[in-house]
C-alpha cells in the first residue's frame, strides 16, 4: 500500500510529509541544469550549493517564482526526484498527494501544479490553500465557528487569511516574502554601501543580524562582496540598524495587507481575533522582532507558531487524514 504524502511546494524549500513518518524531506527548491544537453545535474541541497557559483554551461534554476510554477518541466522533474528519493510508492500503487498553493493561485496555475504532481507519480492529487494548511499545522482548530487569523510569510508569497468553520473567510496573498527581503538587502548594500553581494550572502545577513523592529537587535557582521566602482573584492561591516532600514518597506506592505484583511473581516470574527491574536508562520516568522512589529502596527496580540518552517507540511498530514475520513 502506498503511503499518502503531503507536499509543501515552496518557492524556497520543498517539504514532504509521509503519513506515519512525519516530515522526511526538506530541501531547497532548486534544480541545476546543463544548458548544453538540458540534463538535470542536481536537485535540492546539492543544486542550492551551486546558486551563483556555476560555470556558464550550468544553470541553477528555481522552478517556482513567487509561489507559482515558473518552469513546468523543471517543477515536474524536481517533484519526481524528491518522490523517488522517498521511495514511498508501493508496488503497483500510487500515493495520494496533497499539495499547497497560495490563495490567489489561478485555475491555470492550479492545473499546472496538479499535472506536475500526477506526472511525478501521484494517485489522487488534492490542492489546498496554504494559509489554511499552515493554520492547521500551527495547531489552530479552524473547524470551529470561531475566527482564526494566520499570516504565513514564506519564500515567494505572504498569505494572510482569516479562517472559520474549516474555510477561508477573507484572505490576501502578496508576492513579497523571504526572497524579496533578500533582494532588499542586496539592493540596499549596492545603493548605500557600493557593495555587490549574492543571494546566499543576503540570506545569511538577514538571519544572523537582521531585524524588522528599530533598535530591537544590535549586531554587526563582516560582509564580503565586490566593490561597485572598483570591481574588486571588498569587505565591509554591516549593522542590524541598516538591515532594518533595508527591510522596512517590504514589511510595511505585508502589514498594510493584514490591515485590509482585518478591515474586511466580519465583526464577530474580528472580536475572536482580538481575543485569540494572530499567528505568524512560515520562514518569515523567524525574523527578529516581527511579532512586536505586527502587534504594534495592528493593535492585536501576535504570536509566532512553535515550528513555523514545518507548519504547512505538518498541516498537509492532518488534512490528508481528514480527506480519508470524510472522503472530501
pLDDT in tens, 286-307: 999 999 999 999 999 999 999 9
Does 35 have pLDDT greater than 90? Answer: no
Tell me whether domains 5-132+311-326 and 140-304 share a fold: yes
Among 102-116, 248-262, 296-310, which is the least confidently predicted range?
102-116
CATH for 5-132+311-326 (3.30.420.40, 3.40.50.300, 3.40.50.450, 3.40.50.2300): 3.30.420.40
Q: Calculate the average pLDDT of the chain.
A: 91
pLDDT of residue 91: 47
pLDDT of residue 1: 47
Does 88 have pLDDT greater than 80? Answer: no
pLDDT of residue 218: 96
Q: Where are the domains of the chain?
A: 5-132+311-326, 140-304
With CA atoms as reference, report the closest residue to 307 among 277, 270, 282, 278: 282
Binding site: residue ranges?
11-13, 155-157, 203-206, 283-286
The yes/no answer on whether domain 140-304 falls in CATH 3.10.20.600 is: no
Binding site for ATP: residue ranges?
11-13, 155-157, 203-206, 283-286
pLDDT of residue 237: 97
Considering the entire predicted model, what is its pTM? 0.91
Amino acid at each position: 500500500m502506498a503511503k499518502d504524502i503531503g507536499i509543501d511546494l515552496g518557492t524556497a524549500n520543498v517539504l514532504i510529509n509521509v503519513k506515519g513518518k512525519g516530515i522526511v524531506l526538506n530541501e531547497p527548491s532548486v534544480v541545476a541544469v546543463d544548458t548544453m544537453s538540458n540534463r538535470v545535474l542536481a536537485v535540492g541541497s546539492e543544486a542550492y550549493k551551486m546558486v551563483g557559483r556555476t560555470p556558464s554551461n550550468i544553470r541553477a534554476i528555481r522552478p517556482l517564482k513567487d509561489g507559482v510554477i515558473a518552469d513546468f518541466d523543471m517543477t515536474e522533474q524536481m517533484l519526481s526526484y524528491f518522490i523517488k528519493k522517498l521511495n514511498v510508492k508501493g508496488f503497483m500503487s500510487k500515493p495520494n498527494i496533497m499539495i499547497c498553493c497560495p490563495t490567489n493561485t489561478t485555475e491555470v496555475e492550479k492545473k499546472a501544479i496538479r499535472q506536475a504532481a500526477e506526472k511525478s507519480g501521484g494517485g489522487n492529487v488534492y490542492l489546498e490553500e496554504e494559509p489554511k494548511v499552515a493554520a492547521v499545522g500551527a495547531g489552530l482548530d479552524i473547524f470551529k465557528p470561531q475566527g482564526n487569523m494566520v499570516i504565513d510569510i514564506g519564500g515567494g508569497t505572504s498569505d494572510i487569511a482569516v479562517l472559520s468553520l474549516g474555510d477561508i473567510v477573507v484572505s490576501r496573498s502578496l508576492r513579497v516574502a523571504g526572497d524579496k527581503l533578500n533582494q532588499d538587502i542586496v539592493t540596499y548594500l549596492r545603493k548605500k554601501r557600493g557593495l555587490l553581494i549574492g543571494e546566499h550572502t543576503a540570506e545569511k545577513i538577514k538571519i544572523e543580524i537582521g531585524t524588522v523592529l528599530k533598535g530591537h537587535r544590535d549586531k554587526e557582521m563582516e560582509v564580503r562582496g565586490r566593490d561597485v566602482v572598483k570591481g574588486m573584492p571588498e569587505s565591509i561591516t554591516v549593522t542590524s540598524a541598516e538591515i532594518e532600514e533595508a527591510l522596512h518597506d517590504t514589511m510595511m506592505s505585508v502589514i498594510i495587507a493584514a490591515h485590509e484583511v482585518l478591515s474586511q473581516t466580519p465583526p464577530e470574527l474580528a472580536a475572536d481575533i482580538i481575543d485569540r491574536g494572530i499567528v505568524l508562520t512560515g520562514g518569515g516568522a523567524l525574523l527578529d522582532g516581527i511579532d512586536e512589529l505586527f502587534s504594534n502596527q495592528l493593535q492585536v496580540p501576535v504570536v509566532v507558531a512553535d515550528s513555523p518552517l514545518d507548519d504547512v507540511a505538518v498541516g498537509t498530514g492532518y488534512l490528508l487524514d481528514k480527506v480519508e475520513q470524510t472522503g472530501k
